[in-house]
C-alpha cells in the first residue's frame, strides 16, 4: 500500500532500526522510545490487522514475535516481555498495518501496562453463551 508508513519502512523508503528480517516479516525498534527495546513486528505483506491477515503471514509474524521475545529474555538480559496488538480503531489501533509490540521487561522496571479497572458486574455464563464458537 503506497501510503502505509510500515510498507514504506519495509521498502526502505523510511529508515528504521532493524532488529530482524526474513522473507515474510520485519522487526524494528519503535520510534516512540517509550521503553528500551520496544520492538514492532510486522508482516511484509500489507494487511490491516489480525482480522484480515491470511493465516500464512499471521503464523510467520507470530513465529517472529516468539523468536525475538525468546532472544530478548535468553540472550539480552530481560526478565520477560509484554506482547501487545490492537486490531481495529475501537481497540486503539493507530497504524493500520498489522503489528505486534514487544516490550522487553525487567523485574522492578515500574511499568504497568495493564489497565486498572474495577471488576465488572456481569453474568459470565451469559457472556460465554454469547461469545462461544
Examine the residue annotation and report whether 46 is marked as an active-site residue of this protein. no
- Catalytic residue, chosen from 46, 97, 99, 101, is 99
CB of 105 closer than 8 Å to CB of 81? yes
Query: Cβ neighbours of residue 28 under 8 Å, at least 6 residues apart?
Result: 9, 16, 17, 18, 19, 39, 40
Question: Which residue shows C-alpha cell 474495577?
Answer: 118
Partners of residue 100 on adjacent β-strands = 41
CB of 10 closer than 8 Å to CB of 57? no
For 65-101, give the DSSP string: HHHHHHHHHHHS--SEEEEE---SGGGT--SSS--EE
Catalytic residues: 99
Amino acid at each position: 500500500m503506497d501510503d502505509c508508513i510500515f510498507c514504506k519502512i519495509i521498502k526502505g523508503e523510511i529508515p528504521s532500526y532493524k532488529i530482524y528480517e526474513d522473507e515474510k516479516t520485519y522487526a524494528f525498534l519503535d520510534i516512540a522510545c517509550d521503553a528500551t527495546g520496544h520492538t514492532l513486528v510486522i508482516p511484509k505483506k500489507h494487511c490491516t490487522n489480525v482480522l484480515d491477515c491470511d493465516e500464512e503471514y499471521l503464523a510467520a509474524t507470530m513465529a517472529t514475535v516468539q523468536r525475538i521475545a525468546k532472544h530478548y529474555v535468553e540472550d539480552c538480559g530481560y526478565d520477560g516481555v509484554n506482547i501487545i496488538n490492537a486490531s481495529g480503531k475501537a481497540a486503539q489501533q493507530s497504524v493500520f498495518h498489522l503489528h505486534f509490540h514487544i516490550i522487553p521487561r525487567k523485574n522492578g522496571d515500574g511499568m504497568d501496562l495493564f489497565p486498572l479497572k474495577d471488576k465488572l458486574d456481569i453474568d459470565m455464563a451469559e457472556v460465554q453463551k454469547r461469545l462461544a464458537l
